[in-house]
Amino acid sequence: MKIGKIIKSTEDTVYIGYNNGNFQKSAVENCEFEPKIGDIVHIYEDLVVKLEAKNSAFIYKPKHKIIRIEDGLARIQRNTGDELTIPIRELNFQPKLNELVEIYQDADEIIVLRSKEKGINWLLLLSCSLIPIVLISFMFFFNHKKQDKEAVSATTEQVSTTSTTTTSTTSTTTTSSTSATSSQASIIDTTAETLRDMENDGTLKTGQLYRFTAELFRQEDWGDYSGHFSYLNKYYNIKVKASNASIAGIEIHIDKKLTGGWKEGQIVTFTVKIFEDSEKFQYWVVTEATPNTEPSTQKDEQVSEQQEIDAQAILNGDFSTVAGTWRNGIGHEFTFDKKGLVNAGNINKASIGSDGSISFSISTGATGYGMTIYPAGATIKWVDSDLSKNRIIAGQNAPHSSKQVYYKVD
């Protein structure tokens, strides 16, 4: 008998991970239950049985940590010291800096999950250490006060007066402190994209309230919180869309009762408070949510600002709708005129994808490269990009960084 955990599930296959980092595949029909990620299971030959006993735990031994997040990639330091780089789009969670993860792999595939291991509660440890010191100090003070009771009785009235003054001063100080706290808790209006950037560069303020409006996203990923931060156990995880997280979305935590009737694509205005656990991971916890009851036109308005790309005209050799200069985040440029590329090769073999993208090959002497034009709203599957704008990717290989995506600059 082997004990494992379901780490991935498809329509016909479940992936079962073991605490040594290996995993095996099994057909869904071998499960006598509806498999879900995180289920602890027994494996009897080909039969997979869900383990219900609460005292039978699955413990993942290796410890790996996310050490960098940039350009749509997460860099993970293994416990062996070497590093693994994986596209964020291949993860089923939104990675956070310094977060612990579990890595499972076989000869052909690597699966990364968020670790549920709890960190050391330093606050609790410190409190336990201080309790004996406080008790000893109190006993010493109590005995000393009893011995000197007669000596201090004459000054009782003076101490009472001083205490009253101190109480008044403390009350004033408390009022000022409350006022300052109230001022610090003011709400900052922003966007989901800005908050995501602040979280990645370390400028997101713990305890601060932020308000933003976003579209509900990836409803199939919504579910109860399951992680090491016990404060969030009463919350429900949902995802919202952001242009700098167009594939995975951004995870936020909310009272499930507030989400009744919500559907993917709906626009909601959120007020979130930033919480931090003992390991300095930050979480967006919703304090207020207001669904937009009017049909959303935000995306349509953003897309309408972009010139519509005439795919059929391009296939016929007329590039007027993409004419101008296109530049990526690295500084590379392409320029189109009505006839095609200017001094960048000859275009041939054009085709239109099901998402409206236009792809063609470009010959430059003895070599060449590929290029694809994505109209606003179409997703580039390899990297995050701004869906509200027309975009281009080009090269001999698929892009691995959002900086490689070209946008029109004139």
Which residue ranges of the chain lie beneath pLDDT 50?
54-55, 118-122, 145-184, 295-304
CATH, residue 280: 2.40.50.140
Pair (346, 292) in one structural domain:
no
**Does residue 357 fall inside a structural domain?**
yes
Pair (235, 191) in one structural domain:
yes
Question: In Å, what is the CA distance from 358 to each residue of 303, 322, 379?
Answer: 17, 11, 13
Pair (325, 399) in one structural domain:
yes
Pair (325, 251) in one structural domain:
no
**Does residue 246 fall inside a structural domain?**
yes
Predicted confidence at residue 405, as pLDDT, reads 94
**Does residue 16 fall inside a structural domain?**
yes
**Does residue 256 fall inside a structural domain?**
yes
Domain count, the chain: 4
Pair (291, 309) in one structural domain:
no
**Does residue 159 fall inside a structural domain?**
no
Pair (87, 7) in one structural domain:
no
Q: Which residues of 104-118 are buried (b: 16+ CB within 10 A; e: fewer)?
A: beeeeeebbbbbeee
Pair (367, 314) in one structural domain:
yes
**Does residue 383 fall inside a structural domain?**
yes
The 10s digit of each residue's pLDDT in 151-168 is 344 434 443 443 444 344
**Residue 255: which of 228, 279, 234 has the closest Cα?**
234
- What residues contact 173, with CB distance under 8 A and at least 6 apart? none
Q: What's the whole-model pTM score?
A: 0.38
The 10s digit of each residue's pLDDT in 80-119 is 778 888 888 888 888 888 888 899 888 788 899 888 654 4
Pair (281, 231) in one structural domain:
yes
Pair (356, 394) in one structural domain:
yes
CA-CA-CA-CA torsion for 252, 258, 261, 263, nearest 10 degrees?
A: -20
Query: Sign of the C-alpha dihedral, residues 310, 311, 313, 319?
Result: positive
Pair (34, 69) in one structural domain:
no
Neighbours of 190 (CB within 10 A): 13
CATH, residue 12: 2.30.30
**Does residue 152 fall inside a structural domain?**
no
**Does residue 251 fall inside a structural domain?**
yes
Q: What is the CA radius of gyration of the chain?
A: 29
CA-CA-CA-CA torsion for 159, 164, 165, 167, nearest 10 degrees?
A: 120
Query: CA–CA separation, 289 vs 159, rounded Å?
Result: 52
CATH, residue 95: 2.40.50
Query: CA–CA separation, 108 vs 382, rounded Å?
Result: 20
Q: Among residues 296, 330, 355, which one ends one of the domains?
A: 296
Residue 327 belongs to what domain range? 304-408
Q: Among residues 72, 88, 114, which one ends one of the domains?
A: 114
Predicted confidence at residue 305, as pLDDT, reads 59
Pair (43, 81) in one structural domain:
no
DSSP E strands, 277-404: 282-291, 324-327, 333-337, 340-341, 346-352, 358-364, 367-374, 391-395
Pair (194, 291) in one structural domain:
yes
